[in-house]
């Protein structure tokens, strides 16, 4: 193995973003004809690594080598020219164009004479590409008439056009390609990938550990921006992989467990057989004042959509949702806000804050009515309120007139929380509240979560890591395929283990 030159390798690749060391001297090798699995929790650095491989980001230090030769990728198109093909989880076919046009998009020159595209030749070539992945699709069909599974195959066929100009050494990145597929379709995809190993190398990224074990020859495990393990699939099982991904044992202090007070008697929010289309069904739970209710589940488990329903973005279509005993349907965020819900979104910079408005205006955005007299905003009052929150939550900002854009992630998150506390929200929906934050900022968010629940606020929590969900929550719900599969208490000192929950998630 050492004698052979890897098709693609990363050598000591380092990447930093403001406040985050995303990749720490990462080295990986992909040999010819190999399928390499890449796993890790959200925030472990997988997506940064993929973006470096596909040319979207450039490494700060370290080297990319193709067949032993150092290479740089100016952008995604350049990476593609140099032999990196991509199959994404989100559809990357242009739905308004035909399959054949998609396969050769940007590469039509070979079929063009005197500026005129010879469609016959192009479609014939497309047909040959489709034959490689053994999919029965008319190259003249529009992409939006195809099933998701067929589109995935077309993407694979498109990636295989690399053979024409990248020669022997090319790698296809499969980024969560199974998330929209049914089991039978996944089997077909895997079968094709195995058949194509003679032509290409693959990097396979997935949240589903069993699938990675099934398809990959070798697996890299990432954690906190570094590769922590490189093992052959034959030596691994899901438990072992999960241990490697999560790594450390629970630290009670880190999640402020000693501050976890019993929640109160009164139910502030409850659902009964709540359902929404294919997203989730028959969800029943109660949320008490002073409680943090954690929802665990993988992508596609329905917990994301459930969160969006409670925030007012995706109203449920059957079942009951009660807030303070009143049956409601949250058709807009405005309605949810009126009922005392506050949404701390995962897309903090898009939905959490108006980045281009000052700190003060963001803090008061959801509560302007309370200090408007005769239609006019009392700006002295507004300033006083904003300064009060900046002091109470120790928001680090030059002034309250600074644009939120210029704050660090942790302080931005505090502004979002201040907004909801000012609006006297009684139920907070924390949607991946520590995403992208460094350790110190995370701890401050944990402190705040404890502090507000002690005062009687209720919290619904979804998080990037299972560890965080378990550490913070009073009770846990586990979701799989849109349904609650498991409920458990998580009292301090009696927290369930991650392995207990994993079984109900996958």
Partner 1 sequence: MRIASWAPVIVLLLLCAIISVINPNFLSFGNMVRISQSAMIPLVLGIGATFIIIMGSIDLSVEGVLTLAAVVLSMLVLNGENANDYGLFAVAAVLIVGAGVGFINGLINVRLKVPSFMTTLGTWFIGVGIANALLGGMATRINDPWIRGLAIERFWGFPWGVWVALLCLLIALIIQNYTRLGRHVYALGGGEELAALSGISVARVRIAAFTIAGVFYAVGGILAAAQLGLGNAQIGNGRLFTTITAVVVGGTSLSGGQGSVLQTVVGVLIVVVLSNGMVLMGVPPSVQIGVQGLMIIAAVALSINRKLMKIIK
Partner 2 sequence: MPMNSSLKRLNIDRLRHWLPLATLIILVTVVGVMEPVFLQPSTLLQLASDTAVLFILATGVTFVIMLGGIDLSLQSMASFSSVIVALTIAQLGYVSFGLAVGTGILAGFLSGIAHVKLKIPSFIATLAMGGVLFSAALVASKERSITLGDAERSYQTWVTGSHFGIPNVIIVGLIVLIVAHVLQAHTRFGRYSAAIGAGEPAAYASGVKVDRQKIFAYMLSAGFAALAGVILAGRLSSGSPTLAAEMLLPSIAAVVVGGTAITGGVGSIWRTLVGSLIISVVRIGMTFLSVNIFAQNIVFGSVLVLAVAVTIDRSKIPIVK
The entry of partner 2, partner 1, none near residue 107 (CB within 5 to 8 angstroms by kind) is partner 1
- For the chain, what percentages of helix, strand and coil (3-state, to nearest 5) are there? 40, 25, 35
Task: Compare residues 218 and 348 and give the one whose CB is closer to partner 2.
Answer: 348
The entry of partner 1, partner 2, none near residue 280 (CB within 5 to 8 angstroms by kind) is none
The entry of partner 1, partner 2, none near residue 239 (CB within 5 to 8 angstroms by kind) is none
Burial 24-59 (b: 16+ CB within 10 A, else e): bebebbbbbebbbbbbbbbbbbbbbbbbbbbbebeb
Strand partners, 171: 84, 201
Q: Whole-number minimum distance, CB 149 to partner 1, in Å?
A: 20
State the residue for tokens 């329903």: 309
Q: Give the helix ranges, DSSP H, for 146-182.
A: 148-159, 162-166
- Please state, in angstroms and rounded to a whole number, the distance separating the CA atoms of residues 223 and 43: 8
The entry of partner 2, partner 1, none near residue 101 (CB within 5 to 8 angstroms by kind) is partner 1
State the residue for tokens 């680090």: 396
- Please state, in angstroms and rounded to a whole number, the distance separating the CA atoms of residues 30 and 38: 11
- Pairing outcome for strands 376-377 and 372-373: antiparallel
The entry of partner 1, partner 2, none near residue 108 (CB within 5 to 8 angstroms by kind) is partner 1
The entry of partner 2, partner 1, none near residue 343 (CB within 5 to 8 angstroms by kind) is partner 2
The entry of partner 1, partner 2, none near residue 254 (CB within 5 to 8 angstroms by kind) is none
Q: Whole-number minimum distance, CB 92 to partner 1, in Å?
A: 5
Task: Compare residues 219 and 407 and give the one whose CB is closer to partner 2.
Answer: 407
The count of chain residues that interact with partner 1, using the rule CB under 8 A, is: 23
Judged by CB under 8 A, the residue of 101, 155, 305, 382 near partner 1 is: 101
Q: Whole-number minimum distance, CB 33 to partner 1, in Å?
A: 26
Q: In what order do the strands lie in the sheet with 226-232?
A: 84-87, 171-175, 201-205, 35-39, 218-223, 226-232
Task: Compare residues 88 and 190 and give the one whose CB is closer to partner 1.
Answer: 88
How many alpha carbons fall within 13 Å on the CB side of residue 285? 26
Restricting to residues 423-442, which ones interact with partner 1 according to CB under 8 A?
A: none
Strand partners, 21: 16
Task: Compare residues 254 and 371 and give the one whose CB is closer to partner 2.
Answer: 371
Task: Compare residues 104 and 285 and give the one whose CB is closer to partner 1.
Answer: 104
Q: Give the helix ranges, DSSP H, for 178-322.
A: 183-195, 209-215, 238-246, 303-311
Instruction: Supply φ then ψ for residue 446, to 5 degrees.
Output: -60, -45
Task: Compare residues 353 and 470 and give the one whose CB is closer to partner 2.
Answer: 353
* Binding interface with partner 2 (CB under 8 A): 18, 311, 313, 332-334, 336-338, 343, 345, 347, 350-357, 361, 365-366, 368-369, 372, 375-377, 379, 405-406, 408, 419, 423
Task: Compare residues 422 and 463 and give the one whose CB is closer to partner 2.
Answer: 422
Told to check if 95 binds partner 1 by CB under 8 A, we report yes
Three state DSSP letters for 420-444: HHHCCCCEEEEECCCCCCCHHHHHH
C-alpha distance from residue 13 to each of 63, 82, 225 (Å): 6, 18, 10
Told to check if 42 binds partner 1 by CB under 8 A, we report no
Judged by CB under 8 A, the residue of 61, 97, 131, 334 near partner 1 is: 97
Task: Compare residues 66 and 310 and give the one whose CB is closer to partner 2.
Answer: 310
C-alpha distance from residue 223 to each of 238, 248, 442, 449 (Å): 16, 10, 17, 25
The entry of partner 1, partner 2, none near residue 354 (CB within 5 to 8 angstroms by kind) is partner 2
The entry of partner 2, partner 1, none near residue 333 (CB within 5 to 8 angstroms by kind) is partner 2
Q: Provide CB contacts within 8 A for 102, sequence distance 6+.
A: 93, 94, 143, 154, 158
Neighbours of 480 (CB within 10 A): 18
Fill in the per-residue mask, 55 to 94: x = in contact with partner 1 (CB under 8 A), - = not in contact: --------------------xxx--xx----x-----xxx
Task: Compare residues 9 and 422 and give the one whose CB is closer to partner 2.
Answer: 422
The entry of partner 2, partner 1, none near residue 116 (CB within 5 to 8 angstroms by kind) is partner 1
Q: Whole-number minimum distance, CB 187 to partner 2, in Å?
A: 38
The entry of partner 1, partner 2, none near residue 115 (CB within 5 to 8 angstroms by kind) is partner 1
Q: Whole-number minimum distance, CB 441 to partner 2, in Å?
A: 14
Nearest to 427 by CA among 330, 336, 316: 336
Q: Whole-number minimum distance, CB 419 to partner 2, in Å?
A: 7
Nearest to 243 by CA among 502, 505, 24: 502
Task: Compare residues 256 and 419 and give the one whose CB is closer to partner 2.
Answer: 419
Decide: helix, strand or coil at residue 133.
Answer: coil
Restricting to residues 102-131, which ones interact with partner 1 according to CB under 8 A?
A: 105-109, 112, 115-117, 119
Q: Which residues form the interface with partner 1 (CB under 8 A)?
A: 75-77, 80-81, 86, 92-97, 101, 105-109, 112, 115-117, 119
């Amino acid at each position: 193995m050492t004698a052979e030159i890897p098709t693609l390798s990363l050598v000591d690749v380092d990447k930093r973003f403001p406040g985050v060391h995303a990749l720490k001297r990462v080295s990986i090798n992909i040999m010819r004809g190999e399928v390499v699995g890449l796993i890790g929790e959200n925030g472990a650095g997988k997506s940064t690594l993929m973006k470096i491989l596909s040319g979207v980001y450039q490494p700060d230090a370290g080297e990319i080598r193709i067949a032993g030769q150092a290479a740089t990728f100016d952008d995604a198109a350049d990476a593609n020219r140099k032999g990196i093909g991509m199959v994404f989880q989100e559809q990357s076919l242009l739905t308004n164009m035909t399959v054949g046009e998609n396969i050769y998009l940007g590469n039509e020159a070979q079929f063009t004479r005197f500026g005129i595209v010879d469609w016959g030749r192009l479609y014939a070539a497309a047909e040959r590409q489709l034959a490689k992945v053994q999919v029965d699709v008319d190259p003249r069909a529009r992409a939006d008439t195809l099933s998701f599974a067929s589109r995935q195959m077309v993407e694979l066929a498109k990636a295989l056009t690399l053979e024409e100009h990248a020669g022997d050494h090319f790698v296809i990145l499969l980024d969560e390609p199974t998330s929209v597929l049914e089991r039978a379709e996944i089997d077909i995809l895997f079968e094709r990938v195995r058949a194509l190993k003679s032509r290409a190398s693959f990097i396979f990224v997935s949240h589903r550990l069993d699938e990675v074990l099934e398809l990959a020859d070798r697996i890299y495990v990432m954690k906190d921006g570094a590769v922590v393990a490189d093992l052959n699939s034959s030596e691994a099982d899901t438990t072992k992989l999960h241990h490697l991904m999560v790594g450390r044992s629970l630290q009670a202090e880190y999640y402020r467990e000693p501050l976890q007070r019993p929640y109160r008697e009164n139910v502030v929010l409850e659902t009964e057989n709540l359902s929404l289309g294919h997203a989730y069904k028959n969800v029943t739970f109660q949320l008490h004042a002073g409680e943090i209710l954690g929802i665990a589940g993988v992508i596609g488990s329905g917990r994301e959509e459930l969160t969006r329903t409670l925030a007012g973005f995706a109203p449920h279509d059957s079942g009951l949702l009660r807030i303070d005993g009143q049956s409601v349907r949250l058709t807009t965020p405005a309605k949810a806000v009126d009922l005392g819900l506050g949404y701390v979104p995962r897309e903090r910079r898009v939905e959490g804050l108006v980045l281009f408005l000052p700190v003060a205006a963001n803090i008061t955005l959801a509560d302007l009515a309370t200090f408007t007299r005769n239609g006019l905003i009392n700006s002295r009052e507004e300033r006083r309120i904003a300064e009060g929150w900046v002091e109470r939550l120790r928001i680090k900002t030059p002034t309250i007139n600074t644009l939120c854009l210029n704050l660090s992630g942790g302080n931005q998150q505090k502004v979002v929380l201040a907004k909801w506390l000012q609006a006297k929200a009684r139920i907070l929906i924390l949607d991946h509240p520590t995403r992208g934050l460094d350790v110190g900022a995370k701890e401050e968010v944990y402190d705040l979560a404890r502090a507000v629940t002690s005062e009687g606020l209720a919290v619904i929590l979804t998080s990037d890591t299972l560890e965080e969900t378990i550490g913070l929550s009073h009770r846990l719900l586990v979701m799989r395929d849109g349904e609650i599969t498991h409920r458990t208490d998580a009292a301090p000192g009696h927290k369930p283990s991650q392995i207990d929950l994993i079984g109900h998630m996958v």
